[in-house]
């Protein structure tokens, strides 16, 4: 199946610093990628839709200035958590659609972010 | 937008028994309904999906049914095994993006 690679898998950072997470589609091109956030024992909450060559679309309640998304190529989207705080600690995971009518979602491995 | 509800939140079954998870959705325009299995700390893995033009789909021990009129769909796992223990998420595709249910923690006891 399609492969989506996310890096890093784990990161610990200090409050106030920024962290960049990369999401790559390894064997297919993705004009759209999705970024999710998942708290322990909870569901995946869509944060934003990353669109290649244009601005990302953010879900209601997600601060676009805090969660910067860049989709500069057909195989790479990045999420930067700026001025991180402990409450930003979470599991961040990306997905890229593929398959019939571009509906099947393939997920990256996820990034466990801990802000201390 | 789309709203997906999933029940139960936890499900304990004896090995060999069947497990059923149910989801409802709100957007009648949704046309794609995948199910994902997620083990602790890992990415969700697609286990089966169904499109709105099909009422039932089966893949070995896993089956999914869809009732478009009632706007609900279900996951059926037969002959459960300990390795089926995980969190299962249903999802519905509406407005171009997937909306996930809250998840069901399935525990299969030997």
For the stretch B19-48, pLDDT in tens is 999 999 999 989 999 999 999 889 999 999
A116 lies within 8 A of chain B by CB: no
CA–CA separation, B89 and A58 (whole Å): 22
CB A35 within 8 A of CB A79: yes
> Confidence band (pLDDT; 50, 70, 90) for A37?
very high
Spatial CB neighbours of A106, under 8 Å, sequence gap ≥ 6: A1, A2, A3, A4, A25, A95, A96, A97, A98, B46
* Residues in chain B, total: 110
State the Cα–Cα distance between residues B102 and A39, nearest whole angstrom.
Answer: 11
Report whether pLDDT(A18) > 70: yes
Helix or strand or coil: residue A44?
A: coil
Mutate to test the interface with A, among B39, B44, B95, B102 (most CBs of A within 10 A): B44
The pLDDT tens digits of the residues spanning B64-91 come to 999 999 999 999 999 999 999 999 999 9
Shortest Cα–Cα distance, A108 to chain B (Å): 6
Percent of chain B with pLDDT over 70: 99
Backbone φ/ψ region at A114: left (φ over 0), alpha (ψ -120 to 50), beta: beta
Name the nearest CA neighbour of A103 among B110, B46, B16.
Answer: B46
CB distance from A67 to chain B under 8 Å?
no
Do the chains contact at B44 and A44, CB–CB below 8 Å? yes
- Give the pLDDT score at A81: 98
- DSSP-derived letter for residue A54 is S
Q: Is B82 strand, coil or helix?
A: helix
CA B65-B70-B73 angle, to 5 degrees, is 25
Residues of A in contact with B100 (CB under 8 A): 43-45
Q: What distance in Å separates residue A16's CA from the closest CA in chain B?
A: 26
Mutate to test the interface with B, among A30, A32, A41, A43 (most CBs of B within 10 A): A43
Over B37-61, what HEC string results?
Answer: EECCCCCCEEEEEEECCCCEEEECC
Provide the sign of the torsion angle of the four alpha carbons A85, A89, A90, A94, taken in this order: positive
> B83 φ, ψ to 5°?
-70, -5
Q: Classify residue B51 by burial, with Cβ atoms within 10 Å: 0-12, 13-18, 19+.
A: middle
Q: What is the pLDDT of residues A78-115, one digit of tens each?
A: 999 999 999 999 999 999 988 656 677 889 999 999 99
């Amino acid at each position: 199946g399609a492969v989506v690679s996310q890096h890093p898998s784990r990161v610990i950072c200090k409050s106030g610093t920024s962290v960049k997470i990369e999401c790559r589609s390894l064997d297919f091109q993705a004009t759209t990628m999705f970024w999710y956030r998942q708290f322990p024992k909870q569901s995946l909450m869509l944060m934003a839709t990353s669109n290649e060559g244009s601005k990302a679309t953010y879900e209601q309640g997600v601060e676009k200035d805090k969660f910067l998304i860049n989709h500069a190529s057909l195989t790479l989207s990045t999420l930067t958590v700026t001025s991180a705080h402990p409450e930003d600690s979470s599991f961040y995971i990306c997905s890229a659609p593929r398959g019939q009518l571009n509906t099947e979602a393939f997920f990256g491995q996820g990034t466990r972010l801990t802000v201390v | 937008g789309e709203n997906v509800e999933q029940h139960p939140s936890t499900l304990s079954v004896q090995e060999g028994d069947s497990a059923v998870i149910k989801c409802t959705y709100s957007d009648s325009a949704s046309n794609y309904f995948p199910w994902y299995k997620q083990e602790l700390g890992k990415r969700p893995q697609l286990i089966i999906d169904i499109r709105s033009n099909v009422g039932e789909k089966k893949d070995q021990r896993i089956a999914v049914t869809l009732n478009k009129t009632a706007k609900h769909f279900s996951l059926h796992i037969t002959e459960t095994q300990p390795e089926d223990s995980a969190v299962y998420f249903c999802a519905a595709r509406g407005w171009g993006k997937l909306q996930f249910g809250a998840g069901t923690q399935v525990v299969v006891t030997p």
